[in-house]
Amino acid sequence: MSQEAKPPEAPTVTFTVKAGHVSNPQTLEVHAAEGDLKPWDLDSKLRVVKGRQPRLDGKYKVTGRAKYTYDINMPGMLWAKMVRASVPAGQIVKIDTSKAEALPGVKTVWTTDSRSVRFAGQDVAAVAAVSPEAAEDAARLVEVTYDEAAYVTDLEKAMADDAPQVYEPDKVPGPKDVPKKGNVVGPTSPRRGGNRGDVAKGFAEAAVTVEETYSVPVHTHSPLETHGVIAKWEGDHLTVWASTQGVLTVRDGMAEALGVDRKNVTVITEHMGGGFGSKLAPSATGTAFAVVACKLAKQAGAPVKLMLDRREEHLCTGNAPSALMTVKIGAARDGTLTAVHYRSFGSAGIAGGAGTGGPAGALHGKCPNLKIEEHDVFTNAGPAAPLRAPGHPQGAFALESAVDEMADQLGLDPLEVRRKNEASPVRLIQYDVGAKAIGWERRNKKAGETAGPKKRGLGMANGNWYVFARGSGVGCEVRIHRDGSVEYFSGAQDIGTGFRTAMAMVVAEELGLKTTDIKPNVGDTRWPEGPASGGSNTTNSVAPAVRLAAHDAKMKLFAVAAPMLGVKPEQLDAADGKIFVTGSPGKSVGFKQAAAKMTGETISAVAERKKQYETYRGDLAGCQFAEVEVDTQTGVVRVVKMVSVNDCGFPINLLTTESQIIGAMIQGVSWALFENRVLDRNVGTMVNPNLESYKVLSAKDMFEAVPIVTEIANAGNNTSCAGIGEPCIVPTLGAVANAVFNASGARVRALPITPDRVLAALAAARRG
């Protein structure tokens, strides 16, 4: 989390840096913690960082050699399978495991202590057996008797006075002074942004107001590797191989749940098959499966593997809250916003956390009057988990659709309206870059004006995110061996972002080596601590510690090399595999030659991250442009091209940074056009818990995706990097919806934008 600007307490050292964007550099002072290095800035001559480096683990992944948690099998290992509640609400009367236990090959069972059922998919029982087939058979033999109760799965029905009471204040207390009525908790305001000015006054001053309601359904994370663990006890020591975004979170969670000392728990995540926010809990938000696996392993005296199946992954490991958002905005004739009133209701199932007001709090920063009201609505559905920029894609869809509607009413270019209200100097640069890349001048001046039934159009939307970093307690170890090989150790896990490669680039930059010279070691609680990978904070948290450790190791090696060159260590520099005298590159010794002279076998340096500096900007700017084709006869929408322009500070690895941006556009278009969790109102269970009727974007739906990184030297840490995973998915839904309108005149305010909704919106537009 970016820290509040406050007088420094610890000793500091002041650096002068050239920060910001190359087109508008700013000379700033950084009051860095003592011992930290001067941040890389616009003047830094970087050889490796900001380059394009293929992943170091790529060769293992493309040949099927990379071992994910799901791929680990060990001798004597048992296979576990869980039994989940088949009803959405009620009491468990009886769990009969006798038939399951009698099945040959079944070694042990677990049943829940909880009698209350609050959603279909909740943990009830588990079995462990000698084969996955036997475990699946045994799970089917567990007989559960329920006393069913009334339930509600629909957001708006849950808000009614006579709805079954799902909200339990003792379980989810929520903020103290917030109104709580039935299943509705709110209004609250987001932690960042918040309210300013007086919206009533702003609306009174407005020449035009727009007020519309928008909705987004629940999306499930659907990582391709499901949640799962292998738990193995050796005496009192527990080792857990976990498909997780946070090895430390799993370690602490298992220690607490099982009453084991943290130092007796090791958690390992070498390769991880996607999480998108769902794998931030010790087990998952809607299941304690990992704890159950550890208990089964203890009971059976054998390692236990428990991987959820695809259906379970949809039911109980998380989802993004639904949202029902009413946006009222007022503007002067020239597009200057006078007020924004943002009001949202959303359901995170039986949990809280359905707020979507973040974008309203951060975008259009020049608007003087802003009010945000968020409400959590409780339903009998699995608890939500953070999904890639929690609440922000939903909120930006509503806000940016409303701004587009305002521009249309005023007869103004929606991009010009945004420029007029823009407070971020970064986004002003991005508007020009993005408009040029998409060919913004090609947009329809009047929505749907193209002749013929297949109509093309352009739309754009903004997104925001924050510079998050764990500012302390994050470490890294760098080791230089006598043979000249180098490796680094970070407890943080690579969840598919390319983290391990990016950190190797930081080491290579500092040591003057090639990235391929560095061996990464990541994802293990026995190594220096790293953060859980959420909030786009991993690179930002760890890279500065990696640079410090590499720097310290280098200085130790310089002490070895200095006598070889007859100079002092401070006079040395490293590049191209050589250690040389600064200013006299001819006076050099090879990196390997120097290493061969070290007294021990290994030079090791461990460093801790210094605090995050609030120097340039604490927000991350982004905007996206979409070109779509709408078949006005069938209602089918096809995305033709998307351009995403994003700030992530300095990208460490431009190649993998771009891949994340491409991925965000794809996942965002998938949400905009296809994805929708369907809970059957008659039985209260999910009816599309698979990957064919829970449709995600496939190769045939693919469009031209153009990622553009706006490099910003933010000087917030010694590498000037920030995060990218989340900011780039915030604008996508709005950009697509606005492009659909520009192409066809169909304003679709409910996602996904399915053909029936397009045809209905076209009919509404014809009626005027």
Partner 1 sequence: MAHPSDKDDPAAPVVSRRTFLKTAGVGAAATSLAGVAIPAGAAVLGPGPVPLSLKINGAVKTVNVEPRVTLLRALRNHLDLTGAKEICDRGACGGCTVLFDGEPIASCLMLAADAEGHEITTVEGLGSPEAMSPVQAAFVEADALQCGFCTPGFVVASTALIRKNANPTLDDVKDGLAGNICRCGTYSRVFEAVQKAAKASARPAGRKA
Residues in contact with partner 1 by the rule CB under 8 A: 54-55, 57-68, 70-71, 73, 131-133, 222-225, 271-274, 276, 309-310, 495-498, 655-656, 658-660, 662-667, 690-692, 696-700, 702, 704-705
Q: Which of 730, 723, 729, 589 has the alpha carbon at shortest distance from 647?
A: 723
CA distance 258 to 283: 13
Nearest distance from C-beta of residue 275 to partner 1, angstroms:
8
Nearest distance from C-beta of residue 494 to partner 1, angstroms:
9
CA distance 276 to 297: 28
Contact present, 612 and 602 (Cβ < 8 Å) = no
Bridge-based pairing of strands 602-608 and 584-590 is unpaired
Between residues 208 and 696, which has the closer beta carbon with respect to partner 1?
Answer: 696
Q: Which of 470, 404, 480 has the alpha carbon at shortest distance from 746?
A: 404
Nearest distance from C-beta of residue 720 to partner 1, angstroms:
22
CA distance 395 to 465: 12
Between residues 307 and 351, which has the closer beta carbon with respect to partner 1?
Answer: 307
Nearest distance from C-beta of residue 66 to partner 1, angstroms:
6
Between residues 44 and 659, which has the closer beta carbon with respect to partner 1?
Answer: 659
Radius of gyration from C-alpha coordinates of the chain: 27
Between residues 69 and 588, which has the closer beta carbon with respect to partner 1?
Answer: 69
Nearest distance from C-beta of residue 79 to partner 1, angstroms:
9
How is residue 474 written in tokens? 């994050």
Nearest distance from C-beta of residue 204 to partner 1, angstroms:
45
In Å, what is the CA distance from 666 to each residue of 219, 454, 702? 14, 22, 8
- Three-class SS state of 1: coil
Between residues 352 and 622, which has the closer beta carbon with respect to partner 1?
Answer: 622
Between residues 53 and 153, which has the closer beta carbon with respect to partner 1?
Answer: 53
Between residues 412 and 691, which has the closer beta carbon with respect to partner 1?
Answer: 691
Q: Which of 396, 339, 292, 307 has the alpha carbon at shortest distance from 668?
A: 396
Contact present, 395 and 357 (Cβ < 8 Å) = yes
Contact present, 313 and 220 (Cβ < 8 Å) = yes
Nearest distance from C-beta of residue 478 to partner 1, angstroms:
24
In Å, what is the CA distance from 151 to each residue of 336, 348, 375, 565, 693? 46, 15, 20, 78, 24
Nearest distance from C-beta of residue 666 to partner 1, angstroms:
3
Backbone φ and ψ of 296, nearest 5°: -60, -40
Between residues 309 and 413, which has the closer beta carbon with respect to partner 1?
Answer: 309
Residue type, 256: E
Between residues 102 and 702, which has the closer beta carbon with respect to partner 1?
Answer: 702
Nearest distance from C-beta of residue 594 to partner 1, angstroms:
29
Contact present, 91 and 118 (Cβ < 8 Å) = no
Sequence-distant (6+) residues with CB within 8 A of 111 are 95, 97, 124, 125, 126
Give the CB-side neighbour count of residue 506, counting CA atoms within 13 A: 35
